[in-house]
Amino acid sequence: MEMVLAIQRDNRITEMAAVDNTQVAAMIAVSLTSCFENMNLSRPMRPEQIIDLTDAIIESAGEDQLAIEDLLLFLQGLLRGKYGKMYESMDMPKFFEFFEQYREQRHKVFLDIKYEQEVRHKALGPSERSSDEFEEKEQSMRDELNRQFKAEMERKYSGNDGNA
């Protein structure tokens, strides 16, 4: 799952669909069809339902930047019974109920990785901010410009502007 989270943003479903929605929809529909056929459901989804489900997946993929690999991992888990046993049927609400479990698990992994990175960063100890030095120089330049501006204004309005 950690490798899926590292996938570049332009290789996510939403971005790929913006370039070629037909190809992305075809990849998703084929994956869904294959999964559902292997589940041996007594009432499988009809092709029209799979197309609707495909569109809904593409539409919702941007919510948490899903990649095709996310969907494939989820479908693999669905086939293996990771989200419960299914004997009868599959429909869109049931699919998204199980898919939400995957998405929540994925989000938890993301938060765990982020927490570990923060802990490692804190373990390095305090670091001097390089921006402090920059801010001091910037303030010094502002003070100098302000001083020069005031001097110019005083000279200009005191009648001593050099044109006498």
Please give the distance of CA 44 from its chain centroid, rounded to a whole number: 32
Q: What is the pLDDT of residues 97-139, one digit of tens each?
A: 999 999 999 999 888 888 888 888 888 877 655 566 667 777 7
pTM of the shown model? 0.69
Residues near 41 by beta carbon (within 8 Å), at least 6 away in sequence: 86, 87, 88, 89, 90
pLDDT tens figures, 19-45: 999 999 999 999 999 999 999 888 989
- Among candidates 19, 29, 24, 89, which has minimal Cα distance to 54? 29
CA atoms within 13 A on the CB side of 15: 10
Per DSSP, the three-state class of 1 is coil
SS3 43: strand
Residue boundaries of the structural domains of the chain = 2-123, 128-158
